[in-house]
A and B are shown apart, each in its own frame.
Chain A
Amino acid sequence: MPLRFALFFCAVLLIVAVNAQPGPAPVMTLDELRPGMKGEVWTVFQGTQPEPFNVEVTGVVRNALGPGKSLILCQLTDERVQKMGAVAGMSGSPLYIDGRLAGALSYQVQKFETVRYAGFTPVADLIEVSRKSDQSIANRAATTQGALARRSNDHGLGDALQPLTPVFTFGGLAPQVLDWLSPQFSALGMRVTGLGGQMSAATATLADTRPLQPGDAVAVAITTGDITLAATGTVSYVEGDRVVAFGHPMMSLGEVALPMARAEIVAILPSNLNSLKVANTGTLIGTINQDRLSAVAGELGPVPTMMPVEIEIVRPGETTQTLRFAAARHSQLTPLVIGAGAAQAVMGSNEAGLTNGVRIQADFIFANGESVPTFRLLSGPQGIAEGLNDFVRDITAVLQNPYESTFPSGIKVQVTPLTTNPSATLESVQLSRSVLAPGEELEVTVGWRDYQDAPIQETIRIPVSADWQGKALEVVVTNGVTLDQLTGRANNLTAAQLRSFTALLDVVRQYREPDGLYIAVVEGTRLFIDQATSTQELPGSFERIARQSDEARYLSRAALAPLWETRRLDGRIVTATVRRPFRVAD
Chain B
Amino acid sequence: MAKVSFFAPLMLTLATSVAFAAPLSKRQPVDFFADVPSRNLQGMAARSDGRLVPGPAVGATQARFGAELLWSVVPKGKELLVGTGPDGRILRINPDVRGEYSPTTFADLPETHVFALALLANGDLLAGTSPQGTLVLLRDGQVLARVALPVDSIFDLSVIRDDAAGAVVLAATGNPGRIYRLEVAAFSAGGDGPEKIDSVAALGARGITLFGEIRDRNIRRLLPLADGRVIAGSAPRGNVYEFPAAGGLPRILSENRNAEVTDLLA
Asked if B247 lies at the interface with its beta carbon under 8 angstroms from chain A, I say: no
Contact A467–B174 (Cβ < 8 Å):
no
Asked if A550 lies at the interface with its beta carbon under 8 angstroms from chain B, I say: yes
Q: Which residues of B contact A540 (CB under 8 A)?
A: 235-236, 260
**Interface residue stretch chosen among A68-76, A448-456, A490-498, A528-536:** A528-536
Asked if B112 lies at the interface with its beta carbon under 8 angstroms from chain A, I say: yes
Contact A536–B152 (Cβ < 8 Å):
yes
Asked if A541 lies at the interface with its beta carbon under 8 angstroms from chain B, I say: yes
8 A Cβ contacts from B244-263 to A: 260, 262
Contact A539–B220 (Cβ < 8 Å):
yes
The number of chain B residues with a CB under 8 A from chain A is 23
Q: Which residues of B contact A533 (CB under 8 A)?
A: 112, 131
Select A549's contact among B68, B115, B174, B215, beta carbons within 8 Å.
B68
Q: Which residues of A contact B155 (CB under 8 A)?
A: 539
Q: Which residues of B contact A549 (CB under 8 A)?
A: 68-69
Shortest CB-to-CB span from A348 to chain B, Å, is 47
Select A530's contact among B131, B174, B217, B218, beta carbons within 8 Å.
B131
Contact B215–A546 (Cβ < 8 Å):
no
A510-549, CB under 8 A of B: which get 1 and which 0?
0000000000000000000010011111111110011001
**CA of A470 to CA of B215, assembled, Å:** 9
Select B152's contact among A469, A535, A545, A550, beta carbons within 8 Å.
A535
Asked if B153 lies at the interface with its beta carbon under 8 angstroms from chain A, I say: yes
Number of A-B contacts (CB under 8 A): 51
Asked if B54 lies at the interface with its beta carbon under 8 angstroms from chain A, I say: no
Contact B69–A539 (Cβ < 8 Å):
no
Select B218's contact among A534, A539, A553, beta carbons within 8 Å.
A539
Asked if B204 lies at the interface with its beta carbon under 8 angstroms from chain A, I say: no
Q: Which residues of A contact B152 (CB under 8 A)?
A: 535-536
Shortest CB-to-CB span from B77 to chain A, Å, is 27
**CA of A35 to CA of B40, assembled, Å:** 91
Select A542's contact among B115, B175, B176, beta carbons within 8 Å.
B115
Q: Given contacts A545-B69, A546-B69, are A536 and B112 in contact (CB under 8 A)?
A: no
Asked if B85 lies at the interface with its beta carbon under 8 angstroms from chain A, I say: yes
Asked if B134 lies at the interface with its beta carbon under 8 angstroms from chain A, I say: no
Q: Given contacts A530-B86, A536-B152, A539-B235, are A550 and B68 in contact (CB under 8 A)?
A: yes
Q: Which residues of B contact A541 (CB under 8 A)?
A: 235, 260, 262
The range of chain A's interface size is: 10 to 19
Shortest CB-to-CB span from B112 to chain A, Å, is 7
B56-73, CB under 8 A of A: which get 1 and which 0?
000000000000110100
Contact A467–B218 (Cβ < 8 Å):
no
Contact B68–A537 (Cβ < 8 Å):
no
Shortest CB-to-CB span from B65 to chain A, Å, is 12
Q: Given contacts A533-B112, A546-B69, are A539 and B236 in contact (CB under 8 A)?
A: yes
Select B217's contact among A470, A537, A546, beta carbons within 8 Å.
A537
Q: Which residues of A contact B174 (CB under 8 A)?
A: 535, 537-539
Chain B CB within 10 Å — which of A533, A542, A549 has the most? A542
Contact A546–B85 (Cβ < 8 Å):
yes
Q: Which residues of B contact A546 (CB under 8 A)?
A: 69, 85
8 A Cβ contacts from A484-506 to B: none
**CA of A534 to CA of B153, assembled, Å:** 11
8 A Cβ contacts from A414-463 to B: none
**CA of A534 to CA of B132, assembled, Å:** 10
Asked if B239 lies at the interface with its beta carbon under 8 angstroms from chain A, I say: no
Q: Across the two chains, which residue of chain A brings its CB closest to B215?
A: A470
Shortest CB-to-CB span from B151 to chain A, Å, is 10
Q: Which residues of A contact B71 (CB under 8 A)?
A: 542
Asked if B158 lies at the interface with its beta carbon under 8 angstroms from chain A, I say: no
Contact B175–A537 (Cβ < 8 Å):
yes
Shortest CB-to-CB span from B255 to chain A, Å, is 14
Q: Across the two chains, which residue of chain A brings its CB closest to B262?
A: A541
Contact B260–A539 (Cβ < 8 Å):
yes
Q: Across the two chains, which residue of chain B brings its CB closest to A471?
A: B215
8 A Cβ contacts from B40-85 to A: 68-69, 71, 85
Q: Which residues of A contact B115 (CB under 8 A)?
A: 542
Chain A CB within 10 Å — which of B131, B215, B262 has the most? B131
Q: Which residues of B contact A537 (CB under 8 A)?
A: 174-175, 217-218, 235-236
Q: Which residues of A contact B131 (CB under 8 A)?
A: 530, 533-535
Q: Across the two chains, which residue of chain B brings its CB closest to A536?
A: B175
**CA of A535 to CA of B131, assembled, Å:** 7
**CA of A538 to CA of B219, assembled, Å:** 11
Shortest CB-to-CB span from B89 to chain A, Å, is 15
Contact B236–A535 (Cβ < 8 Å):
no
Q: Across the two chains, which residue of chain A brings its CB closest to B133?
A: A535
Q: Which residues of A contact B85 (CB under 8 A)?
A: 546
Contact A535–B130 (Cβ < 8 Å):
yes
**CA of A192 to CA of B69, assembled, Å:** 53
A560-572, CB under 8 A of B: which get 1 and which 0?
0000000000000
Q: Which residues of A contact B260 (CB under 8 A)?
A: 539-541
B193-217, CB under 8 A of A: which get 1 and which 0?
0000000000000000000000101
Select B176's contact among A467, A535, A545, beta carbons within 8 Å.
A467
**CA of A549 to CA of B236, assembled, Å:** 21
Q: Across the two chains, which residue of chain A brings its CB closest to B132?
A: A533
Chain B CB within 10 Å — which of A467, A538, A550, A553 has the most? A538
**CA of A553 to CA of B87, assembled, Å:** 13
Q: Which residues of B contact A538 (CB under 8 A)?
A: 130, 153, 174, 218
Q: Which residues of B contact A539 (CB under 8 A)?
A: 155, 174, 218, 220, 235-236, 260, 262
Shortest CB-to-CB span from A545 to chain B, Å, is 6
8 A Cβ contacts from A340-375 to B: none
Q: Which residues of A contact B215 (CB under 8 A)?
A: 469-470
A318-353, CB under 8 A of B: which get 1 and which 0?
000000000000000000000000000000000000
8 A Cβ contacts from A217-251 to B: none
Shortest CB-to-CB span from B154 to chain A, Å, is 12
Q: Which residues of A contact B175 (CB under 8 A)?
A: 535-537
Q: Across the two chains, which residue of chain A brings its CB closest to B220?
A: A539
Shortest CB-to-CB span from A562 to chain B, Å, is 13
Q: Which residues of B contact A467 (CB under 8 A)?
A: 176
Q: Across the two chains, which residue of chain B brings its CB closest to A539?
A: B235
B104-146, CB under 8 A of A: which get 1 and which 0?
0000000010010000000000000011000000000000000
Q: Across the two chains, which residue of chain B brings its CB closest to A554?
A: B86
**CA of A549 to CA of B87, assembled, Å:** 14
Q: Which residues of A contact B218 (CB under 8 A)?
A: 537-539
Q: Which residues of B contact A470 (CB under 8 A)?
A: 215
Contact B153–A535 (Cβ < 8 Å):
yes
Q: Across the two chains, which residue of chain B brings its CB closest to A534?
A: B131
Q: Given contacts A536-B217, A541-B260, are A530 and B112 in contact (CB under 8 A)?
A: yes
Q: Across the two chains, which residue of chain A brings its CB closest to B259?
A: A540
**CA of A131 to CA of B175, assembled, Å:** 62
**CA of A550 to CA of B87, assembled, Å:** 14
Q: Which residues of A contact B112 (CB under 8 A)?
A: 530, 533
Q: Across the two chains, which residue of chain A brings its CB closest to B216?
A: A537
Chain A CB within 10 Å — which of B68, B86, B115, B260 has the most? B86
Pairs of residues from A and B, 8 with the lowest C-beta to C-beta distance, nearest first: A539-B235, A537-B217, A536-B175, A535-B131, A533-B131, A535-B152, A539-B260, A540-B260
Ordered by A's residue number, 14 sampled pairs between the chains whose C-beta atoms are within 8 Å are A530-B86, A533-B131, A535-B152, A535-B153, A536-B152, A537-B218, A537-B235, A538-B153, A539-B235, A539-B236, A539-B262, A540-B260, A550-B68, A553-B86
Chain A residues with CB under 8 Å of chain B are 467, 469-470, 530, 533-542, 545-546, 549-550, 553
> Apart from A530-B86, A540-B260, A545-B69, what are 12 other A-B pairs with CB-CB below 8 Å?
A530-B131, A533-B131, A535-B130, A535-B131, A535-B174, A537-B174, A537-B175, A537-B235, A538-B153, A539-B218, A546-B69, A550-B68
